[in-house]
């Protein structure tokens, strides 16, 4: 008898970004020379002092289970980090550590959603939000945020999406895939709407917090409206700013009731995050922070070069992201055009297939992020790859009829 899958798994889509990475890996293994702009992780190495902290932890025997919510030293370091960077005051009992920010988002919804509960997700969104909500029996309510609003949720759009079933609003700033960053005034306007709906909780995904450009500053909604603290869960991690994707350490800060519920679920799943990774995370948060600014400067140079090379490409409309490490250009000007093979490009997914086939460049389609017709191009890669890949994209676009 074949395995019978649970309905929640059957209706869940595979992660589009992970699927893209798998496809590129297969092509490279087969000898295909592909420029990869799908990658959603730093290509920079973890700083040496963080690695040394992990080695020291292993040598002194910190290789055992930790408390489910995380080591006291890491939770204390998270509290100091939140105070230092955002002026937010939390106690260690209001912090929980997990195997990456993604796990904590998953467990937060697992702990709080019942069938039919709604979660408002502004689009473009990180690819996993809707499926994480859905697999936990919630209903994702996607609100399109177009270029006219800077790809950001407006108070009017939020108000229109709220219903008696709304349990959460997710705000991701800086945003993946657009790089949009909410200003203090924009957050204040959204907070005014949330004040009228006291049963709605707010999740802030701040994983790209320190990757901002052109004097842009990130702001947490609780800084803007401290009354939101009693119903806000702050999600962050070490992956992006500290180049620690493989170390799998994230953290959440919020009311004790939420943090305790998440820890309860972790106790029945992963037990705890890696003790070694947690020791490294303490060094990342408390040690020399110069590598964070250096990484942002590197990404800014790459962003500027990618924009310079792609500007004027037929069919593309480019805007400069304020944060993260992605461009999100419109490809509306390519829709309806034909390739020499006779293929007509009807969607942004067609465009991604065309660029892979004809330009040997892998990119992500906007439909995976909830808003078309766009592409997501990562500049978390070398300048040489950016030079080669952008030139190949331009030639491929110029070849369309």
Across the chain, mean pLDDT equals 96
DSSP secondary structure, 16-47, as one string: HHHHHHHHHHHHHHTT---EE----S--SPPP
| Alpha-carbon gap, residue 348 to 180, rounded angstroms | 20
Break the chain into its structural domains and give their ranges: 7-45+291-398, 62-286
β-partners of residue 170 are 203
Instruction: Specify the pLDDT at position 18.
Output: 77
Instruction: Specify the pLDDT at position 42.
Output: 96
Instruction: Specify the pLDDT at position 14.
Output: 78
Instruction: Specify the pLDDT at position 31.
Output: 86
Question: Is residue 220 classed as helix, strand or coil in its secondary structure?
Answer: coil
- CATH of 62-286, picked from 3.40.50.300, 3.60.15.10, 3.40.640.10, 3.40.50.620, is 3.40.640.10
**What proportion of the chain, given as a percentage, has pLDDT over 70?**
100
Instruction: Specify the pLDDT at position 19.
Output: 80
Say which residue the tokens 């990180």 belong to: 126
Q: What dotted CATH number matches 7-45+291-398?
A: 3.90.1150.10
Nearest to 118 by CA among 187, 189, 175, 199: 199
Instruction: Specify the pLDDT at position 27.
Output: 83
| Alpha-carbon gap, residue 249 to 390, rounded angstroms | 33
Q: What is the pLDDT of residues 169-199, one digit of tens each?
A: 999 999 999 999 999 999 999 999 999 999 9
Which segments in the chain show pLDDT lower than 50? none
**What proportion of the chain, given as a percentage, has pLDDT over 90?**
92
| Alpha helices (H) along 113-183 | 129-135, 155-161
């Amino acid at each position: 008898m074949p395995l019978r899958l649970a309905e929640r798994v059957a209706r869940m889509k595979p992660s589009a970004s992970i699927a893209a990475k798998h496809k590129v890996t297969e092509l490279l293994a087969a000898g295909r020379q592909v420029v990869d702009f799908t990658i959603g992780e730093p290509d920079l190495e973890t700083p040496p002092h963080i690695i040394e902290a992990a080695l020291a932890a292993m040598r002194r025997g910190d290789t055992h289970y930790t408390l489910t919510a995380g080591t006291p030293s890491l939770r204390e370091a998270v509290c100091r980090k939140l105070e230092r960077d955002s002026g937010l005051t939390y106690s260690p009992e209001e912090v929980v550590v997990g195997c990456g920010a993604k796990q904590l988002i998953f467990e937060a919804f697992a702990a709080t959603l019942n069938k039919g509960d709604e979660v408002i997700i502004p689009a473009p969104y990180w690819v996993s939000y809707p499926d994480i909500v859905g697999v936990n029996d919630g209903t994702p309510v996607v609100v399109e945020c177009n270029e006219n609003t800077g790809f950001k949720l407006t108070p009017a759009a939020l108000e229109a999406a709220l219903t008696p079933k709304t349990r959460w609003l997710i705000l991701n700033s800086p945003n993946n895939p657009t790089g949009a960053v909410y200003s203090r005034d924009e957050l204040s306007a959204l907070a005014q709407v949330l004040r009228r709906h006291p049963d709605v909780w707010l999740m802030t995904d701040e994983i790209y917090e320190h990757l901002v450009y052109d004097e842009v500053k990130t702001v947490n909604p609780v800084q803007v409206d401290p009354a939101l603290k009693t119903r806000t869960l702050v999600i962050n991690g070490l992956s992006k700013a500290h180049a620690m994707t493989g170390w799998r350490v994230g953290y959440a800060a919020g009311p004790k009731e939420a943090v305790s519920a998440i820890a309860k679920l972790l106790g029945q799943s992963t037990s705890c995050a890696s003790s070694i990774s947690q020791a490294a995370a303490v060094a990342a948060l408390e040690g020399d922070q110069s590598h964070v600014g250096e990484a942002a400067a590197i990404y800014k140079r790459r962003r500027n070069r990618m924009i310079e090379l792609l500007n004027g490409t037929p069919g593309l409309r480019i805007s400069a992201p304020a944060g993260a490490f992605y461009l999100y250009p419109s490809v509306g000007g390519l829709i309806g055009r034909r390739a020499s093979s006779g293929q007509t490009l009807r969607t942004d997914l067609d465009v991604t297939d065309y660029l892979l086939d004809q330009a040997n460049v892998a990119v992500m389609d906007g439909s995976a992020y909830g808003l078309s017709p766009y592409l997501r191009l990562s500049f978390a890669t070398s300048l040489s790859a950016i030079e080669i890949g952008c030139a190949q994209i331009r030639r491929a676009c110029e070849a369309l009829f």
